[in-house]
Amino acid sequence: MSVDAATVRRIAHLARIAVADHEIEHLRGEINNMLAFVEQLNEVNVDGVEPTASVEDMKLKMRDDVVSDGNYAKRVLANAPATDDGFFQVPKVVE
Amino acid sequence: MNAPVRNPKLLKGDKHDWQVVIGMEIHAQVTSNAKLFSGASTEFGGEPNSHVSLVDAAMPGMLPVINKKCVEQAVKTGLGLKAKINKKSVFDRKNYFYPDLPQGYQISQFKHPVVGEGIVTVDMQDGSSFEVGIERLHLEQDAGKSLHDQHPSMSYVDLNRSGVALMEIVSKPDLRSAEEAKAYVTKLRTILRYLGTCDGDMEKGNLRADVNVSVRKPGDPLGTRCEIKNVNSIRFIGQAIEVEARRQIDILEDGGKIDQETRLFDAAKGETRSMRSKEEAHDYRYFPDPDLLPLEFDDAFIAKLKADLPELPDEKKARFVKDFGLSPYDAGVLIAERETAAFFEEVASGRDPKAAANFMINEFFGRLNKEDKTIEQSPISAEQARHDRRSDRRWHDLRQDRQRPLRNRLGRGWRPARGGREAWHEAGDRHRRHRKGRRRYHREEPGQG
């Protein structure tokens, strides 16, 4: 499997990463190298092997249903480029 | 198809008869104190961005920790839907960009949901019933809320809802008309409210539906479907299906073809229209969330939840029919809300249950409607109603009053003991002073927008 220039542009756009035209070819090479490596891994027979979720023998920890956080709108908004009356302001997005 | 054979309900086109095929994705907000992966409050309202933790705001380095109650609620709902419970499930990232999604992805479950296939028995107005297959139920995060009308060039974002737990309940394409779809949502809502896993409040957006609609000639394979996003009342669900089916039939009869797309229902204009902006977002690039281990629990965890299940609507209805001799229709009306069923059982204790059912349906609900009250706000208690001076026989006869104008029916014959009458009058006065819109009780569905 390999990707073409158009796919590289599409992946960049989906990830909202600005990529200049002269970078496309270089990135295409890098992505194809990675895909080739994954293809190599695919040759290993893993029938009956559970996908590894963690290398530690751990279970998902759960929290109790208790309100223990929040009520600091100022902190939440501290890094926002624009705010008004407790809201984030963003360039208008309308359906 | 999983749907049992039932009368096909066909829509007439100019050239053919058409069958509508509907499947639904219901987003039900999980009833919990805290969010799915953070300790922030789920409370509705509140100052903007106050019920937000740094996890919900997706600050770098913040890690999700799952709320056990939300898992229990999902499993409980699965049990209520007679569904397969998966003791191991996986959280995935669903990637897309939108200002109300600070993470840039929604934590959801894609390949391995917590609940698998189940079934809902749906009751129709005429007393018939049919089954709808449930494909799956999974847990996921809600997004924040965007306001577009506060500023000429900016949208406003409030993350209070961001990260609240949702159950997405996906049905099989087993529904064949707008009426069936409405009855399905009504029944699902009743089940959720009985279980206490979602309050079903559609006005607050705590229950909303994505409706998949396609049409075909009877016997043909499934047609291309369109998905109508985020319909927030049961009445609108019915309207959206009707106009969308009609739109598709018109296109097909003119020799056109249906584009698979996401559409929006505009209730004011009575039309659906394409949401082109969503099209590109369809490449979600799901992958297992590396911040979360698989969700695992054992049989004991399920057994404990099972032991605590309340009597569910179908069981209660069957019991009312069997033990009290009620008609399936009357039993269905009385069990639609858990509180109503409890009220009825108390009224019926020590009296003739059929007379009590008659009293509830033909008089009591009319009263509540007239005074715009829910059963919790009833000016008389169930005990007071039970001590109404009229005999069982008089209660029985109430049915004949059905044809008379509501005003006459309500104007007489109400003689509750122990101060109940005064309570009604006071409530009536209060109500007249603060008269707002009247809300019908039980005759129409909840959540009408």
pLDDT digits (tens, 9 = 90+) for B174-201: 999 999 999 999 999 999 999 999 999 9
- Binding-face residues of B in 375-394 toward A, CB within 8 A: none
User: What pLDDT does B400 receive?
Assistant: 52
Where would I find the H helices in B336-449?
338-348, 353-359, 365-370, 382-386, 392-397, 406-411, 420-433
Residues B165 and B220 in one domain: yes
Task: Mark which of B307, B336, B368 sits at the end of a domain.
Answer: B307
Rounded-to-integer distance, Cα B184 and Cα B180, Å: 6
Rounded-to-integer distance, Cα B24 and Cα B4, Å: 18
Which residue of chain A has the CA closest to B99? A90
Q: Does residue B42 lie in a domain region? A: yes
Where would I find the H helices in chain A?
5-14, 21-42, 73-77
Residues B423 and B297 in one domain: no
Residues B324 and B281 in one domain: no
User: What pLDDT does B444 receive?
Assistant: 39
Place of tokens 């009445």: B235
User: What pLDDT does B46 receive?
Assistant: 92
Rounded-to-integer distance, Cα B107 and Cα B65, Å: 12
Q: Does B81 touch chain A (CB under 8 A)?
A: no
Residues B295 and B325 in one domain: no
Residues B285 and B399 in one domain: no
Shortest CB distance from B157 goes to which of A14, A53, A88? A88
Q: Does residue B175 lie in a domain region? A: yes
User: What pLDDT does B277 receive?
Assistant: 58
Rounded-to-integer distance, Cα B349 and Cα A94, Å: 56
Higher pLDDT, A93 or A23: A23
Could B41 and A70 be called an inter-chain contact, meaning their C-beta atoms sit closer than 8 Å? yes
> CA of A73 to nearest chain B CA: how many angstroms apart?
5
- Binding-face residues of B in 104-133 toward A, CB within 8 A: none
Rounded-to-integer distance, Cα B228 and Cα A21, Å: 38
Q: Which candidate, B358, B316, B322, places its Cα nearest to that of B339?
A: B316
Rounded-to-integer distance, Cα A47 and Cα A32, Å: 26
Is residue B335 a contact partner of residue B324, using CB atoms and an 8 Å limit?
Answer: no
Helix or strand holding residue B186 (H, E): helix B178-195
Residues B122 and B185 in one domain: yes
Shortest CB distance from B52 goes to which of A67, A70, A82? A70
Rounded-to-integer distance, Cα B195 and Cα B76, Å: 7
Residues B302 and B318 in one domain: no
User: What pLDDT does A56 receive?
Assistant: 80
Is the dihedral angle over the CA atoms B188, B192, B195, B199 positive or is it negative? negative
Shortest CB distance from A62 goes to which of B50, B68, B285? B68
Could A67 and B153 be called an inter-chain contact, meaning their C-beta atoms sit closer than 8 Å? no
Could B34 and A76 be called an inter-chain contact, meaning their C-beta atoms sit closer than 8 Å? no
Which tokens hold the place of B85? 């419970």
Strands B226-231 and B207-216: antiparallel
Q: Any idea what DSSP says for residue B360?
A: I
Residues B150 and B229 in one domain: yes
- Domain ranges, residue B207: 10-307
Task: Mark which of B307, B322, B346 sits at the end of a domain.
Answer: B307
Residues B85 and B181 in one domain: yes
Is residue B26 a contact partner of residue B209, using CB atoms and an 8 Å limit?
Answer: yes
Q: Does B321 touch chain A (CB under 8 A)?
A: no
pLDDT tens-digit series, residues A23-78:
999 999 999 999 999 999 999 999 999 888 788 888 899 999 999 999 999 999 99
The ranges of chain B with pLDDT < 50 are 1-4, 403-449
Is residue B64 a contact partner of residue B292, using CB atoms and an 8 Å limit?
Answer: yes
Task: Collect all residues of chain B within an 8 Å Cβ-Cβ radius of residue A63.
Answer: 34, 39, 65-68
> CA of B304 to nearest chain A CA: how many angstroms apart?
17
Task: Collect all residues of chain A within an 8 Å Cβ-Cβ radius of residue B54.
Answer: 69, 75-76
Residues B156 and B221 in one domain: yes
Beta-bridged to residue B136, according to DSSP, are: B170
Contacts of B246 (CB under 8 A, 6+ apart): B11
CB atoms within 10 A of CB B422: 12
Q: Which candidate, B377, B328, B381, places its Cα nearest to that of B357?
A: B328
Q: Does B68 touch chain A (CB under 8 A)?
A: yes
Beta-bridged to residue B79, according to DSSP, are: none
Residues B64 and B139 in one domain: yes
Q: Does residue B447 lie in a domain region? A: no
Could A95 and B55 be called an inter-chain contact, meaning their C-beta atoms sit closer than 8 Å? no
Chain A interface with B: residues with Cβ < 8 Å = 14, 16, 51, 53-54, 58-71, 73, 75-77, 82, 84-95
Phi-psi region of B325 (alpha: psi -120 to 50; beta: other; left: phi over 0): left
Length of chain A (residues): 95
Tally of domains within chain B? 2
- String of DSSP letters for B47-97: STT-S--TTTTT-TT----EEHHHHHHHHHHHHHTT--B-SEE--EEEE--
Task: Mark which of B307, B327, B358 sits at the end of a domain.
Answer: B307
Is residue B362 a contact partner of residue B399, using CB atoms and an 8 Å limit?
Answer: yes
Residues B166 and B247 in one domain: yes
